[in-house]
Each structure stands twice: as structure tokens, then as C-alpha cells.
Structure 1
Amino acid sequence: MCTLVNGTANVSSPDSWIQEVPNSSCTKDFGGADEVTLPIPLSWDNYVPPAIFAFIFLVGVTGNSLVIYVVAFFRKMRTVTNFYLCNLAVTDMTFLLCCVPFTAAQYAMPSWVFGESMCKMVNYMMQVTAQATCLTLASVSVDRYCAIVHPVASLTFRRKGVAISVNVLIWIRE
């Protein structure tokens, strides 16, 4: 995992999963310079987790895109609760697009190759999306509580505009 220590990106990776192998597909002639070999991952954990992440990415992006599409383009689906669920889909999509590809690539590569700024951005987005998800779930819980326990009194504040404002405040808070 990419970690930040004293402002620099550090990656802890064991040397046991890489073997230096001179191979015609992994070497390059640098005009008389010594032959350069690239590390070749040898363990199954360099291939299986990225495949699982790819599957999660595809299913997540497809499902969350459908939720956003349905709420955006079907007027009957624009309810207070569905606005909260749409925000939850947005937080999930943000996580899937900003964090999952980099995490999957990290399993396949011997070290973090995206640089210090991307290390910071990916870690920041992991925190932001986790907090936005928690706050959105809390908003859904409060909304459901008010709708069930105080159905008549909650009609004054359970409105689409309030739900949109709460969702915007969740993102501004981050």
C-alpha cells in the first residue's frame, strides 16, 4: 500500500515476489549499455486481486450508473429517499473511479509508480468517499425515521430541496 511518511510516498513490497529474469521481451538494448531487466511478478497475488478489482469496478460502475440514470431521467423516481440513494451512488462511483484502479494496479506492480501527488490524492479520496458514504447513510436513516415515526410532522422538512441541500452539504463538508 502506498503510504506517506514525512511527506514522501513509501511503498512496502517484499522482494520475494519478484525475480529478475533476462528475457528478450523484458530487455532493451541501450546502444551498447548493459542489458536492463524488468522485474517479473511471480506470485498469484499479483494477478488475482486485480482481476477481482476489475470485476467489482465493472459491476459497481454499471449498477451505480443505472441508479443515477433512473433517478435523473424518470420523474416518478425523484423522491426524497431516492435523492439520498442517488447521492450514495455518486459516492460509490467516485470511489470506484478514483481509488479502485490505482489499488488494483498496485497489486500488479512492484511499487507505487503514480507519484507522490497521486498517492496523496488516492488516499484523500478514499477518506472523502468513506465519510460521504457514512453521512449519506446517516441522512437516509434520519429520513426514514422521520417518515415512519413522525409521518405528518415530517412533511414540512422532508422535501426534495432539503434532500438536495443535505447532499450538497455532505460534499461541501468533505
Structure 2
Amino acid sequence: MEETREKKLERIVQRIRSFPDFPSKGILFKDICPVLKDPEALTAVIDLFEQHVRQTYPQVELIVGLDARGFLFGPLLAQRLGVGFVLIRKKGKLPGPTQSVGYTLEYGMAEAEIQEDAVDAGQKVIIIDDLLATGGTLYAACELLKKQSAEVLGCMVLIELKDLNGAERVKPSPLFSLIQY
């Protein structure tokens, strides 16, 4: 018998751990490693993402995953949807010609890049990551995809830290989060 959405979310929430002051003082880190360790919880995550995409964005052509945890969910989702998967990585990690964008994190600065030929102009994409905090990483991803003339249909995360207002930063791209804290 198919589990309900509520049961799937409950299974996922039960596996998320919190670590205060990681990676620096004042940050409450949400650890998804137990979700990944539990095949049923991981399946629940992908089931819920797939359901959302099929209902909201049936025209999607690519899933774009953010370094590094977007790489965990993105390929699984892309495979289920029958679409391709593209990487956005930290600067210096991709071969060949790339485009990059700098951005701020809640605890520092970073730069993200994508291969120049990763996305075709006009291609309809969804960006996926594990967590949205201040929105810097997702904002950078949206900017990179704009440089490539892609159409960002939306952004998806497992966890959204609502108090940090990251969803505001990625507007006008809509945000979908499975769990909010």
C-alpha cells in the first residue's frame, strides 16, 4: 500500500538531525546523512520531489544539482523523470570552459560554476539542493542559468530554514521545500 504524503514527510523528518555551532558558531546544522542511510526515507524524498515536478512542471527538460548535496537527489529525480542532470560545482572543479558567479553564504564567500555547454538556450530547468538558508547558493545557480539563457522553472530543496528568508533571494523563481524549520 502506498504511503501518504504525510507519512513520507514524517519518515524524513524523523531522520534529520541537528548539530549546533557547525560549521561555525551560531549555525544550527541540519544533517541529512541519516535520510540517505535509510532507503525508505531517501525513496520518500524522491517520491515527493517527483510528485511535485510531475504536477507543477511537466515540461521540465533538465534537473540542475548544486554541489554537493544537490548531487545526491538530482540524478535520482532526473532518472525518474526521464530527463538529464547537470552539475553546478564549486569553482575549479569542472573541466573545460565554464561560467562562474560569486555569492555569499551565511558563513562566508564562495563561487559556483557550470560548464558553458551544460544547458541549451531556452531549456526548461529545475534547480535542486538539500537546504535553503540565506539563498546565496540558489541565487548564484539562478544567475548562472540566466547566463546560459535557460528557463528556470523553479528551485527545490529538502529543507528550508524559513527565518533566514532565502526564498526571497531566489525570486522570481518559485521555491518548493519539503520541510521547513
The interval holding the TM-score normalised by the smaller chain is: under 0.3
TM-score w.r.t. length of structure 1: 0.25
State the structure with more CA Rg: 1
TM-score w.r.t. length of structure 2: 0.24
Larger relative contact order (C-alpha < 8 A, sep ≥ 6)?
Answer: 1
Answer 1 or 2: which has greater helix percent: 1
Answer 1 or 2: which has greater strand percent: 2
